[in-house]
Each structure stands twice: as C-alpha cells, then as structure tokens.
A and B are shown apart, each in its own frame.
Chain A
Amino acid sequence: MKISSLFSSVGEWARNDGPHHQIVISSRVRLARNLRNHPFPGWAKKNDRLQILELIKPQVEALQEMDDALSSYLQELSALEKQALVERHLISREHAAKGIGSAVVVNKAQTMSIMINEEDHLRMQVLLPGLQLHNAFKTLDKVDTSLENKLDYAFHPRLGYLTACPTNVGTGMRASAMIHLPGLVLSDQINQIIQAVNKIGLAVRGLYGEGTEAMGNLFQISNQITLGEAEEEIISQLNKVIEKIIEHEENARQVLLQKKPGTLLDNIGRGFGILSHAYAMTSKEALNLLSFLKLGVDLGFFPPERQAEIDNLFVITQPAHLQSNAAQPKLTPEERDALRAQIIREKLKTFPNPNTSKVVLPQPPTEESHHE
C-alpha cells in the first residue's frame, strides 16, 4: 500500500463506533520489545541500527495481519507525511524525528502500526474506536506471539521484557484510552477525577500549562506501572476506571442539562456560532469549540448523523492534514488558521441550528417580578 492511499481514508479507529463511542474516542495498547544481543536504538551505532532494522522489518512485513500494509523507511517519508502520521496516532512524535535506520509498518485499516527502532527496537500498537482495550490487547498479543518465534527477544527471568527506558520494563505494555470529558470540565469536576486517577497509579495526559484543562476536553488515561502486574490485570483495572469515568461524565452531562441548561447551551451555541463564522482559527481553538459541537450531538441538539462530520473535522484541521490539502506549499501559521476556518465554515454551512426545544430554560425575570 502506498502512503497516498493511506491518507485518502481515515483510519478505522476514527470511525467513531465501538462500545461507549460517544465518550471514549479510541483505545490503544502498545508493546515495547527489544532484541537480545543488540544495543537499544538510542545507543546503537548507525550500522547496528541498520542491521537490526533488516532483521525485524521482513518479519513484520510477513505477518498475516500486515497483508497489503504500508511499509516505509523513515527517510522515505516527507516531513509532512510524518507529521500527518503523528496526527493520526500511527507513529510517535519521537519516531517522526527519525531518519535512516528506522521504519514503520501500518496495516490497511490503520488499526495496527509497528515502529522499528523507535526508542525500542519494536514498538507495536493496536488502535481501535471506542472502549475496546481487551480486544486491542488480544489482537496485539497474537502478533507479539508470532514475532517472538522469529525474533530473539530480550527477556529477563525476573524483570520480564527489557526496554530502553526502565519505566516500560516488565510487560512493556502501555494501554490507554482517549476520552472526551466536556461535562466534567464544564462542571469543574475534572481536577478531582484526575487526582483520583493519578492516585491509583494511572497517568492522565492532556495537561496543558499549569492548569489541567486539556485541548478539546480530550484526555488520555493510561497505566504507568509495567512491572509486577500481568497484562490482563492492568487492562482490566484500566477498563474499570474508565467505565467509572464514563459514568461520572454521563452524570455530569445530565446534571448540567437539568441545573445549568443555560451554561450548557451557551457553550454549544457559541461553539457553533464561532465555528460557522470565524475567518481565522488556531488548532487549539478549533479543538475546543469542536468539542462542544460534539457534545451538542451527544445531547441531541444536532442530528446524530452529523457526528461523523465533526469527528472528521477533529482530524483534518490538524496542521499537517491541513497542509496536505492546501494548494500551495508551506503555509504560514496565519494562512493555516485562515484555511482551517474556511474548511470548518464550509462543512458547517449545511448544519442546522441547535434544536433546543426539549430544554427548559429558566425564565428571565419579567417587569412585574422587578416591581415586587
């Protein structure tokens, strides 16, 4: 598969279905593996890296799961293509900075990607829409088992799978879910949730500056501990925590609807208004406003079939995706903001106004009540 055909469709994970898809955007599991008798990529000399790459790449390409996959050396990809792969969560930021001596293999559905010579010799991930951590793990585990027969993994009887960074040693597994929590943010409960989640040894990503508000009300929750707990245990615990958070988010939304419908509608209405009429928009502003539009669909203010368009906007308004759709090469940030605003305006042209007929807003005081 060519990279151009990869970009012509969004990945399956972005299709926005799967269990709990309104709140859980995607689930991801990744495994880090290294070869015995070879230095880790960060310490290996160029020749070592090339040798490791040629040991691993053919085995990855031969996987049944990687039929008709995109397989590319990093130096074959343009900066723009790499950035677009980052925006699709198919490679890491660190991997995008790599050149000769590294490679990436992505399956056709864009649900599985294997980075070779990232921080570890192998970084494999499965990314699925909605809350599907168990499925993602099962799929990845199968791939790992087929590869372990072909490659001599570095494994320590007591420490488990050895990784370049000691934070990954043991299972080498990081499981995470991207969740959309506008209700908890709007009702000021998000900090409490983050603290509680941190306390049980899970990491919440998406922190911005010193505050805890993330862009687009999107948060990524993942396990931090990789040593001493079995893979299934880690996944089950994470899954349980996420189900709890979903419950809290759903409650927060209902409470907002009943107690503060004005605030809720104001956010959704303003989001819709600005997105429909702005002529310059940064990606941060776009994410934040699109989040409220998404919430508007979830709560029934917009028709449900509009969900896909919004989810698509989350991806195509990212810088590299914008650039790859632009007529001219190398947009300035100002030009990008203008193009982003234009694309969003056009997409929202056919969007109906929010249908607020089901919401009972408190009546503003009338003249009479003033006189009382």
Chain B
Amino acid sequence: MARREPLRALVLAGRFFRIGALNELQYRANFAMQLFQSAIALGTGLAVLALVFGQTTELNGWSQPELLIVMGVHILMGGVIATLIQPNMVRLMEDIRLGTLDFVLTKPDDAQVLVSVREIRIWQAVDWLVGAVVILFGVTQLPVSIGPGQAFAFGLAFVLGGLTIYCFWLILTVGAFWVVRMDQIVELFDGVYQSGRWPVTIYPGWLRVSLTFLVPIAFAVTVPAQALTGRLTPDTLALAAGFAVALLAFTRWWWRFGLRRYAGASA
C-alpha cells in the first residue's frame, strides 16, 4: 500500500484536475482578470528591479539577469502554490470548521491525498506562463549558457521546493486551525512569501534561517534559482532533498495526529 500511494495520488490528481479545469473554464472573465493582475504584478516587479539596478550593478553578488531569474522562479512557484496548494488548504480549513471533513474520511482513498489534490484554481496558471517567460528571458541574458545537468537540477530542486511548501501549508492548516482563522494565515503567508522575490542570502542571519527552515521560502525559490545560475552545490541539493523527505514524513505523522484529534472532537 505504501509503495502504490504516490502513483495513486497522481491518478487522483489527474482526475480532479480535469474536473476542476472544466469547471473553471466556464468563467472566462476570470481569465482576463487574472491576466491583467499578473501583468500589473510583473510590471511592478520589473519597476523595482529597474530601480535597484539604477543604483547598483549587483545585489549581494547576484547580477541583473540572475535577479530576473529569481523573480521568474518566484512567480512560477507562486503560481503553483495558488493553483494547486492554497485552494486545497483553504478547502480543508473550511471542512474542519464545518465538520464536513467526514465526507472525505469515508472515501476509500487515502484522506491526505484526497484533501491535497481535489481543488484547483486553473486561472492562476497564468502565472506559470509568466514565470516561465521571465526565467527564460533571464537565462538568455546570462553570460554562460546552462547545460542539461543544470536544467535537471533546477527541475529537481523546483519539485522538492514545491513539496516542501506543500508540507508547510498542510502542517499549518492542521495545526493552526484551532488557534486562528484561515484567511489571516493566507494573508500572512502571502506577505512572507514576498521575501522570496530576492535571494534569501541577502537577509540577516536569523531571518535567513527562519526563511529556510521555518517558512521554507529558500527551498521553494532561492535553491532552484541557484541551480539555474550555477550556484547550486551538491550539498545544498542534498540538503533540500533530505529536508523535503523528512518534512513529508513529519507531515504524514502530523496529519494522522490531527485527524485523530478531529475525529475525537466531532464524535
């Protein structure tokens, strides 16, 4: 059972994706709005970069194209979070609050997988496109072109980063539910996530550590960006992998723990 789960998760995810996409595609107005919003956010981000590079040629060792790549990864990962992760977490929060989580628990599939893949906000995927374009543009401006090894490392780092953020979100949703309301967590996260716009290395020590292990922005954005800019060391990649695996295991345990508490509470 334990070995088949990842595969099953993908199958389920695929099914929910189709349904979610069909649903959302009805609302064409959302597409235009999302496009506009992303355009404005991109414009603002570029304006900031322009301002910074009006005053200096490099930030903490990162050149202009390299910072562009960081921004691109930030947008891309942000799109992934907004499309795949946040909607599920928000729904999970609602289910816990209203007690409707039971419907999920009675299904034959693994509950954690179900609550993690059933929701999708397809229009946020505009950011995937925008982020990818920015990354590509940044990459073309690099003095040294990247090889397949780097590209692969980037892909791996990105996936690991995504999984790490997913774990963070699930831990927060299950744990913080009893303390505070969800919309505040979303706002709080969005605020902290903005720190990923810049390489985490610029932040003072204590902040850098927090943004790596407390709120894993570093693994989500900086590390994949490092892969594309030739900064990624095998040590860092191994750390990212190790951290992701450990976090997944902890999340699994935490989920089970929270579920027992929930079942106890609603009985």
A and B assemble together: no
Interface residues of A (CB under 8 A from B): none
Interface residues of B (CB under 8 A from A): none
